[in-house]
Amino acid sequence: MNVRPLLLLAALAVLAAAEPEPSLRLDERSFIEVTAGLEQYRRVSGLAGRCRAQGGGVAAMLCQRLSEDLARIQPGLVVEVKGGGVRDGLAALVAGEVEVVPMARPPSDEERTRLAAAGVTAIAVDFANDALAVFVHHANPLAEVTLEQLERIYGRVPRGPAIETWDQLGVAGPLAGQALRRHALGPNHGTYGMVRELVLGGGHYRFDITFAVVPGNLRSEVGAAPAGIGLASVMFDSAAIRAVPVRGADGVAHQPDYRAVVAGAYPLCRPQVLLVALREGKVSPPAEALVRFALSQAGQRLVAGMGAYPLTSGQQASALKALP
């Protein structure tokens, strides 16, 4: 039996014993307070029909949860939500097989160009605040990280020397000489492209990264590995891992908590998006009901309950104005 990992876990547990990290998730009292001023959903009398949605990752999970509660308010409405990734969702939108594509990021210029070339008009509606967290094992003492350091951790050809061991990040103690165990989400996730754009400067990932099929796997792998590091939505925060503050443009290292994310101070923020097809300049009534419920006070409280961050009143107003 190899006892070294067990000894390392025990040593790191001593370092982490001082005080537990607070969860990034808003508690019920907090999310009720921050959503108190949001507009409420107005039930549409006699609404019937079907709304089809297909996308990936966190956005599809949120959309599925929202559709379940909407069905209780609008019993004549059927909302079908499928996963499979944004790429498949966009193809289905072009084919007229879905009306909504849940996305964990705004559509890229390339995606908008492809839709326009196919004769498809769609609007992107932000329906939740989210952020890409840098997760490490809960006992890892890493104090903060910069975007430049993340590029040197994950980039195939970084602009500075590659970071291979934890002491290069200022970590002392039992982890110091340990090699980083890198984790990330694969190309079917919006996170993959976001990291390439915001962290890697358009470059490519290293070859030795372990790519997880689903975020829950990444969380488990980082939580089980003292030397692990991974990038995923704040929704996947747990007691086994912790988010490392990331230094922003203001020179301050910010946790990806609600206030830093809605203020834009945390450097790896992103919206969760519903990309909605327009047919003859209009959103279908079933799709409009889904979007309006997602933006409503009740919808935003569901979003917060799942670990994402709700919209502010100003963001809600802007999103509602996007609907024709």
Residues 208-260 have pLDDT tens digits of 999 998 899 999 999 999 999 999 999 999 999 999 999 988 999 999 999 99
Hey, how many other C-beta atoms are within 10 angstroms of the C-beta on 216?
12
pLDDT at 8 over 70: no
Task: Please state, in angstroms and rounded to a whole number, the distance separating the CA atoms of residues 48 and 46.
Answer: 6
pLDDT score of 249: 85
- At residue 15, φ and ψ (nearest 5 deg) are -65, -35
**Which string of DSSP letters, residue by residue, matches 5-34?**
HHHHHHHHHHHHTSSPPPPSSPPHHHHHHH
Token readout for 128 is 């939740």
Q: 150 burial class (0-12, 13-18, 19+ CB within 10 angstroms)?
A: buried
Distances (CA, A) of 259 to 53, 63, 216, 311: 30, 23, 25, 11
Give which of 205, 133, 207, 144 is closest to 170, Cα–Cα. 144
pLDDT at 263 over 90: yes
Q: What domains, with CATH codes, occur in the chain? A: 29-129+272-321 (3.40.190.10), 131-262 (3.40.190.10)
Token readout for 235 is 């929704």
Rounded to two decimals, what is the model's pTM?
0.89
Give which of 238, 230, 170, 178 is closest to 205, Cα–Cα. 230
Identify the band that residue 57 occupies on the pLDDT scale cut at 50, 70 and 90: confident
pLDDT at 106 over 80: yes
Q: 319 burial class (0-12, 13-18, 19+ CB within 10 angstroms)?
A: buried
- Higher-scoring residue by pLDDT: 99, 190: 99
Q: Radius of gyration of the chain from Cα atoms?
A: 21
Residues 273-308 have pLDDT tens digits of 999 999 999 999 999 999 999 999 999 999 999 999
Identify the band that residue 10 occupies on the pLDDT scale cut at 50, 70 and 90: very low
Distances (CA, A) of 18 to 56, 245, 253: 38, 18, 21
Identify the band that residue 23 occupies on the pLDDT scale cut at 50, 70 and 90: confident
pLDDT score of 252: 96
